[in-house]
Amino acid sequence: MENIGKNSLPQNGESTGKCPFVHGGSTSPDTSPLKWWPKRLNLDILHQHDEKTNPYSKEFNYRDEVKKVDFKALEKDMHDLMTTPQSWWPADWGHYGGLMIRMAWHAAGTYRVADGRGGAGTGNLRFAPLNSWPDNGNLDKARRLLWPIKKKYGNKISWADLFILAGNTAYESMGLKTFGFSYGRPDTWQPEIDIYWGPEDEIMAPSENRYADLDDPSTLETPLGATHMGLIYVNPEGVNGKPDPMKTALQVRETFARMAMNDEETAALTAGGHTVGKAHGNGDASKLGKEPEGANIEDQGFGWINPTLNEKGVVTSGLEGAWTTNPTKWDNGYFEMLFNHDWELQKSPAGAWQWEPVNISDKDKPIDAADPAKRNNPIMTDADMAMKMDPIYKEICLKFKNDQEYFSDTFARAWFKLTHRDMGPKTRYIGPSFPKEDLIWQDPIPTGNKNYNEEEVKSKISNLGLSISDRVSIAWDSAKSFRNSDLRGGANGARISLSPQKDWEANEPERLSKTLSVLKKLSSETGISLADTIILAGNLAIEEAASAAGYDLSIPFKKGRGDASQEMTDVKSFSNLEPAADAFRNWFSGKSKSSPEELMVDQSQLLGLTAPEMTVLIGGMRVLGANHTDDKTGVFSEKEGVLSNDFFVNLTDMNNKWTIVGENKYELRDRHSGDLKWTASSVDLVFGSNSILRAYAELYAQDDNKQKFVNDFADVWSKVVNADLF
């Protein structure tokens, strides 16, 4: 447990009690003009990482720049860094490997498979809250150690890539043959405000707020992946700081599963992460300086400043000691230490619970990190003891203990998965050292046929007898699974025809099956992929709907999608992509505590949409008749199937009056006659009630923007159906 990094009141020269407006600008979070309406729908997550925050020009493309790096030179510099101690932060045993591994791990380990958010892909460890979480104590030192390399290679290497490369290099310098590494993670320039880290108002608050039942780890609130706000996974001292390895084992299993790891991968990562390096708790944590985000201005973002630079002043986790006899060497020492000794609870100098051996020979003790003349007791966390006491983990670890090569390979693969899980398909990998092997968690997809005339195929589609609604619905359902967070899902692969997607309630399985059977037959006859056929059918439906509105529209089409097989599809993993709602088809399962409007914003953010794009897409989908089960809720038009701006025209018409008639059910009636005209959900009505969304709705309701609406809808449609083509 970390006992540092908690929020505190301003101090040491910070301004307190002064009017924030004397300078004319609202520069404090406490002065937001919208703070008075906390339940207002917050659209900010749709506009994070705006180009205005990015210091690079629009022409700059990091994924192109990184290919210009001298990879050998960079990796040599990184190797040299590991054993070049700096006086301002001395290296344990003269090697920064343990620190760099922890940095890489904690950058990547925030990934959660439930929503694909988190992970190392954006370099967000630089920003709050991550840079100031207790679990990330002193990782600011690791980043400062990397600064000379970042400064040297500049625009050709991102912080995000450097974080993971540092961890990989550290393991290699200690003797592990890693599985590989890919470059290509562009940095963001502000915190990721879309990520929900938990309901607590305080870092390291008791776990109960996160669970329906603390004794049942599966009740951890979705999509969270840690036992406390401020930790990556579990409390090293035990559940709520109370040692109990069997209870901790259950928590470890759940938190690692939430980042897509099975028991074997979990055991390998736990053991491999603690084979090298040490925990730091050899001092009084109360004497440490503030975390980076709370530190004084003169500290320059350097947090947790130690009163001394010797070992006695180093406090990070609160636990103190190394896990193995040789903490800078990749070996089987972790298992030898864990299973060859009995362990008892002790307190670290910082007052944290840790496990230490009952009896141990001096030669088996690790050398002191700062004084080679001393040897100290090794330690185990509660999670380490779980590897010994939980019968499943124990069996796996004993297998590792007896087969070093097997352990090393399992760990290397799990480490690669941990650090690359959010990068998307293998086609996005860059550099000389990524593995060529196809891995099921990469969601492999074969290359599709490009050698065909799309106009001829469209002609055949038009004669299939499928309605505009049928074609729009299947194309949308195929594409809507895409997550911009970890670049999974989408239309490529045609996984909508496979388990589990073909059976999702959101995809109308019965209707889907009928439409698929028609399109599969055409796909077989023409020799093009089902994935291409589905999107081409959807595009054609949009073009026909635009033509009915009097507009000549041609949606650009990208060929070459492939069809994945069931064997290429990890059913359990893909189950995490199942939606609880689809605002664009006006469907809500009722399985979420969030409002339909909030679910719409969340869905839009994962699709990579802005608020204007979300608005025009909703309006178009309604008039196309793409609602789930052909429901008429929100179809504010007498011309269903025509791509018109009727949704916005009628929504903003003050001759209409809305009344609530049930849960998430509203009626639109003529203000004068009282005649019922249409029904709506709260998602439909929010485009008239929310001031920002109403501004967009009014724009598209204008008489002079009818064609703009059609063109904008087509652009957003193309963006969604092509989002997974990299």
In DSSP notation, 608-675 reads T--HHHHHHHHHHHHHTT--GGG--TT---SSTTS--SHHHHHHS-TTEEEEEEETTEEEEEETTT--
C-alpha of 286 from chain center: 33
Q: CA 698, 702, 706, 708: dihedral to nearest 10 degrees?
A: -60
Which residue reads 């969270």 in tokens?
224
CA distances to 22, 28, 415, 680, 707 from 18, rounded to whole Å, are 9, 12, 49, 47, 52
Three-state DSSP at 400 gives: helix
Dihedral sign for Cα 530, 534, 535, 537, please. positive
DSSP β-bridge partners for residue 581: 588
- Own/partner pairs for 344-350, CB < 8 Å, 24+ apart? 345/243, 348/281, 348/282, 348/318, 348/319, 348/320, 348/321, 348/379, 349/281, 349/282, 349/283, 349/284, 349/320, 350/3, 350/281, 350/282, 350/283, 350/284, 350/285, 350/315, 350/318, 350/319, 350/320
The tokens describing 430, both together, are 């860059």
135 close to 106: Cβ distance less than 8 angstroms: yes
The tokens describing 470, both together, are 């049928």
Q: Tell me whether residue 106 is one of the annotated catalytic residues.
A: yes
Backbone phi, psi, residue 423, to 5°: -90, -10
Three-state DSSP at 89 gives: strand
C-alpha of 186 from chain center: 14
Q: Distance between CA 59 and CA 476 in Å, rounded? A: 31
CA distances to 270, 306, 371, 529 from 312, rounded to whole Å, are 27, 9, 11, 64
397, exposed or middle or buried, with CB in 10 Å at 0-12, 13-18, 19+? buried
Q: CA 321, 324, 326, 330: dihedral to nearest 10 degrees?
A: -120
DSSP β-bridge partners for residue 354: 346
> What number of other Cβ atoms are within 10 A of residue 631's Cβ?
14
> What number of other Cβ atoms are within 10 A of residue 38's Cβ?
7
CA distances to 196, 219, 476, 591, 607 from 115, rounded to whole Å, are 10, 17, 19, 16, 12
Q: Distance between CA 246 and CA 579 in Å, rounded? A: 33
C-alpha of 324 from chain center: 33
Active-site residue, from 47, 79, 106, 274: 106
Q: Distance between CA 233 and CA 108 in Å, rounded? A: 12
Catalytic residues: 106
